[in-house]
A and B are shown apart, each in its own frame.
Chain A
Amino acid sequence: MRRPGPLVATLRLSAAAVAIAWSVFPIAMVVLSSFKPQRDIFAIPPSLVFAPTLDNYRRLLAEWPAFFPNMLNSLIVTVGATLLTILLSTLAGYVYARCRGRVLALSAFFMVVVRMLPPIVVTLPLFPLFSWLRLNDTHLVLVLLYAAFFVSLSTWIMRAFIDQVPRELEEAAVVDGAGLVQVLRLVVLPLVLNGIVASSLFVIVYAWNEFIFALVFTTRIARTTPLVMSEMLSTTDGVDWGVLFAAATVQLAPILAFILAAQRYVIAGLAAGAVKG
């Protein structure tokens, strides 16, 4: 792209600097605070230059031994929910992209409207039901719930992508003798891989940090990290902010890493598909 004149360039860069500062500032503070001794975290004036300590991380490991096993649970649930969501929304998105019909239109509308119900109330009838089905405290419960609450958005996104895949390619494959499943697997899927990454981003961030369903439906086996962090907030003798921020930093790191790694696919993907509807 042509570099604009110096004035415009300076303005652009300044605007970008402000935007970055706005985005990153509190996060930087959380991460920095995790390396400060607890009494310095909320000290006024806050010290930007200080001797970092790993004490908070050490205590995180010592006082909350369940933290990392729970993170594994978070990982399992996140991956499971993402895979399920992608699978269902790709299939559904394909149908909405390729077909038209009154019933289809209504069902697509239904997918949006049904999301208006606050997720929290869904726990009221589902807790006794899942208990009875012996599904409480399993990863499956969370995988199903997270997928249910994100399949709508994913379907819309996948629909937009699949719209961009030319029908001629599918028709050519059919002529070559491919069944519908093979068409989907060999023709459509590779071309919408970017869209899949885009959808995944939203689900992953949600599932990784989700709290209410994890609180209600898990106890020990499938407990996820947000629960540990909420317990840190509700101690009887004051919140250990150092440990909490250390936990928050550890919780954030994989997601940031994923975003950094995947965002070129996300952006390229969203662009190629260009959520034009």
Chain B
Amino acid sequence: MSSTDAATRQAATLPTAPRTRRWRAPGGTRPAPVHYALLAPAQMLLVGLILLPAIYVAWMSLQKVSFGADPVFVGLANYRALIADTVFWRAAWNTFLVVNAVVYGELLLGLGLALLVSGWMPFRRVIIALLIAPYAINEVSAVAMWRFVLEPDIGMVSWALVQSGIGQLDWSADPTDALALAALLSIWMHTPFTFLILYAALQGVPQDVREAATVDGANAWQEFRHVILPFILPALLVALMFRYITAMRIFAEVWLLTEGGPARMTEVLAVYLYRTAFRYHEFGLASATAFAMVLLSLAVAAPYLWAAWQRMFRHA
């Protein structure tokens, strides 16, 4: 531990240096067979329960599959149907907007909360527990309540918004308002995840480094940008990456609010997938939709995946 402290203190004096120094410090052992054996169970689970089914699903996406009939090979017809469907593109666009709003919203909010709570704060533990609570509640109950308080004209929060002059969200008729509300719900439910990770990362910033910066005359913004940010950047990337991947699948917030309506204007990809699979029972098309979502995930998360790859895995 002391060696880490020394290294950190040294590193802190050169804002850009920490990254290079810390990465060189632990050497890597070349993996021995026993290491692969330790790795195997986790990998097998992923391969068996996700990768192999994914390959089968890829195969299904080239077929027309439904209840009561034998599967028929149709080549790329499902993908062509997707590309031709305006609702699919609207869902893709809506998903793209909502995911970005959610991920960055959570980032800002989570970071803000983490900074707030890691500074001077009485009853910190209780406050943290309360801030994490939305993560634990069942989605259906939460959305039912949010719907109630945001009901136009009569919901408590709607009323408050009107009184304060902000105006209310006409989420049942205006797709922008509806998607904004869905994004808000998602942020509400998932910020605890980002908050936890960032708060913990903040705890790792050594106190003496922060104080040194203040003594040197740095103001809050400079302190944040040059001292704190480099320390929490890895954590930030982890949080961003995983949130991008999971936020793409936003479903309950939209489904319970508008079911993708009105006129399917607020549909997102997960709702589209759900309809295709569970309402229309068109499993080939649903499989194709799933892969379209994977492609979109890759495209959207690509910059972060690239950054993660650079940071973590270049040192082979």
Q: Taking the complex as a whole, does A directly touch B, i.e. does some CB pair lie under 8 Å apart?
A: yes
Query: Residues of B contacting A91 with CB < 8 Å?
Result: 38-39, 41-42
Q: In the bound complex, do residue A100 and residue B30 qualify as a contact, i.e. CB atoms below 8 Å apart?
A: yes
Q: Is the C-beta of A108 less than 8 angstroms from some C-beta in chain B?
A: yes
Q: How many residues of B contact A (CB 8 A)?
A: 101
Q: In the bound complex, do residue B39 and residue A92 qualify as a contact, i.e. CB atoms below 8 Å apart?
A: yes
Chain B 101-153 interface residues, beta-carbon cutoff 8 Å to A: 113, 116-117, 119-122, 125, 127-142, 144-146, 148-149
- Determine the main DSSP class of B at the interface with A: helix
- A168 nearest in chain B by CB position: B3
Over the window 138-149 of chain A, the binary record of Cβ atoms lying under 8 Å from chain B Cβ atoms (1 yes, 0 no) is 000000110111
Query: Residues of B contacting A205 with CB < 8 Å?
Result: 135-136
Given A98-B28, A118-B249, A27-B54 contact (CB < 8 Å)? no
Over the window 146-157 of chain A, the binary record of Cβ atoms lying under 8 Å from chain B Cβ atoms (1 yes, 0 no) is 011101110110
- B249 nearest in chain A by CB position: A118
Q: In the bound complex, do residue A95 and residue B45 qualify as a contact, i.e. CB atoms below 8 Å apart?
A: no
Query: Residues of B contacting A46 with CB < 8 Å?
Result: 156
Query: Residues of A contacting B246 with CB < 8 Å?
Result: 115
Query: Residues of A contacting B197 with CB < 8 Å?
Result: 270, 275
Q: In the bound complex, do residue A27 and residue B133 qualify as a contact, i.e. CB atoms below 8 Å apart?
A: yes
Q: How far is the CB of B182 from chain A (nearest CB, A)?
A: 15
Given A108-B312, A270-B200, A103-B133 contact (CB < 8 Å)? no
Over the window 165-200 of chain A, the binary record of Cβ atoms lying under 8 Å from chain B Cβ atoms (1 yes, 0 no) is 011000000000000100000000000000000100
Given A124-B60, A267-B128, A274-B201, A26-B273 contact (CB < 8 Å)? no
Q: Is the C-beta of A62 less than 8 angstroms from some C-beta in chain B?
A: no
Given A104-B31, A112-B305, A1-B119 contact (CB < 8 Å)? yes
Query: Residues of B contacting A112 with CB < 8 Å?
Result: 241, 245, 305, 308
The CB with the most chain A CB atoms within 10 A, among B49, B113, B248, is that of B49
Q: In the bound complex, do residue B29 and residue A99 qualify as a contact, i.e. CB atoms below 8 Å apart?
A: yes
Q: How far is the CB of B96 from chain A (nearest CB, A)?
A: 15
Say which residue of A1, A20, A99, A180 sits within 8 Å of B127 (CB atoms): A20
Over the window 238-274 of chain A, the binary record of Cβ atoms lying under 8 Å from chain B Cβ atoms (1 yes, 0 no) is 0001001100100110011001100110110111011
Chain B 270-301 interface residues, beta-carbon cutoff 8 Å to A: 270, 273-274, 277, 283, 286-287, 290, 293-294, 297-298, 301
Q: How far is the CB of A251 from chain B (nearest CB, A)?
A: 6
- A149 nearest in chain B by CB position: B50
Q: Is the C-beta of B193 less than 8 angstroms from some C-beta in chain A?
A: yes
Q: In the bound complex, do residue B204 and residue A276 qualify as a contact, i.e. CB atoms below 8 Å apart?
A: yes
Given A42-B148, A107-B43, A275-B235, A95-B131 contact (CB < 8 Å)? no
Cα separation A19 to B195 with both chains bound (whole Å): 12
Q: In the bound complex, do residue A101 and residue B144 qualify as a contact, i.e. CB atoms below 8 Å apart?
A: no
Query: Residues of A contacting B119 with CB < 8 Å?
Result: 1, 4, 12
Q: Is the C-beta of A24 less than 8 angstroms from some C-beta in chain B?
A: yes
Q: Is the C-beta of A220 less than 8 angstroms from some C-beta in chain B?
A: no
Q: How far is the CB of A271 from chain B (nearest CB, A)?
A: 3
Q: Which 3 A-B pairs have the closest CB atoms?
A: A100-B28, A270-B200, A274-B204
A-B contact pairs, 20 of them (CB 8 A): A20-B127, A27-B134, A88-B45, A92-B39, A99-B31, A99-B35, A110-B46, A111-B46, A114-B50, A115-B246, A117-B50, A118-B294, A121-B54, A122-B50, A124-B286, A230-B140, A244-B141, A263-B129, A267-B200, A270-B200
